[in-house]
Amino acid sequence: MTKRLLLSLIVLLTGLSALAAPPPNLPVIAPLASQEVNFGETVSFTVSATVPSGKQLYYEAANLPEGAALNPLTGLFVWKPTIYQLGTYRVTFAAWDRLSPQNMASKSVRIAVVFRKTFSERGWGLKAGPAATVIETDNVEDLYPNIRKLEVEGVERPLTQESFAVGPAPQLKTEFFSHYNIDQKTVAVVLNGVKQKNIVLSDIQSYGDAGNITSLVVKWQAPELKPGRHLLLLKAANELGVYSQTYELIVNQKKAP
């Protein structure tokens, strides 16, 4: 290899290295780990960056969740998410030199806000250990009330069944369940568009200092129904959302003696 060819190769490699290397005064942000936090608890970490010049760096964030705060001087991020903020967030942090705004670097971090519920063996008799996780979700719809058991005229029915052949005055018993809460005032039985007043709530189960209701049983005796099809709506809600399920009651025409 001639000296001229060797010199050209060195110049080429040097130029490529210069293109691949970051600008000398560009901040370098330390790695940021993904975060997971239970709602109502606080997640905090510090965004840290350095710059070869040693100048003071300032921090800012894009897509900052509501209620979260970032200290522009120290890079300290603090957030206490609420139950309404379940989900996954991607926040982008930037570090930059105010005297040279073009010298800016950014890095994103994933923050998952979850609902995590644990029951103790002593308090619940689940034999699952002192701190067994029963549910963990970042989907708020998983915390809506729902129907866990349905009986029509004393017979347990599949939850997928949508219509029932019944007598003229059927009885209904259903159990509502929620991992989070059921608002008793929202529990309703609606027949043909009319809210029924003779429902009875029983077997109410609650947990926690707030007394959130996790399950309850609804009993209802229908009035005398005419032959034909009748629309039945069962409903329950909490502060997160409303659950409702519609069924059809079919009362057969009485046969003449």
Q: What is the pTM of this model?
A: 0.75
Q: How far apart are CA 143 and CA 253, in angstroms?
A: 41
* Domain assignment present for 48: yes
* Domain assignment present for 216: yes
Q: What's the whole-number mean pLDDT along residues 29-57?
A: 93
Q: Which amino acid is at 41?
A: E
CATH number of the domain to which 109 belongs: 2.60.40.10
Contact 142, 135 (CB under 8 A): yes
Residue 75: pLDDT above 50?
A: yes
* Domain assignment present for 218: yes
Q: pLDDT per residue over 204-245, tens digit each?
A: 999 888 899 999 999 999 999 999 999 999 999 999 999 999
Beta partners for 249?
164, 230
Residue 76: pLDDT above 80?
A: yes
Residues 148 and 244 in one domain: yes
Q: Which residue has the higher pLDDT, 120 or 96?
A: 96
Residues 82 and 176 in one domain: no
* Domain assignment present for 121: no
Residues near 236 by Cβ (< 8 Å), separated by ≥ 6? 145, 176, 178, 182, 183, 186, 187, 188, 242, 243
* Domain assignment present for 207: yes
Residues 107 and 150 in one domain: no
Q: Which residue has the higher pLDDT, 168 or 3?
A: 168
Contact 205, 107 (CB under 8 A): no
Contact 196, 220 (CB under 8 A): yes
Structural domains in the chain (count): 2
pLDDT score, position 105:
94
Residues 164 and 108 in one domain: no
Residues 175 and 243 in one domain: yes
Neighbour-count burial for 13-40, b at 16+ CB within 10 Å, e otherwise:
eeeeeeeeeeeeebbebeebeebebbbe
Residue indicated by tokens 């929202």? 186
Q: How far apart are CA 85 and CA 61, in angstroms?
A: 18
Residues 97 and 155 in one domain: no
Q: Which residue has the higher pLDDT, 15 or 86?
A: 86
Residues 103 and 182 in one domain: no
* Domain assignment present for 223: yes
Is residue 15 helix, strand or coil?
helix
Confidence of residue 23 (pLDDT cuts 50, 70, 90): low
Contact 144, 204 (CB under 8 A): no
Residues 163 and 240 in one domain: yes
Domain, as residue range, for 109? 25-114
* Domain assignment present for 3: no
* Domain assignment present for 122: no
Residue indicated by tokens 């609606």? 190
Residues 200 and 101 in one domain: no
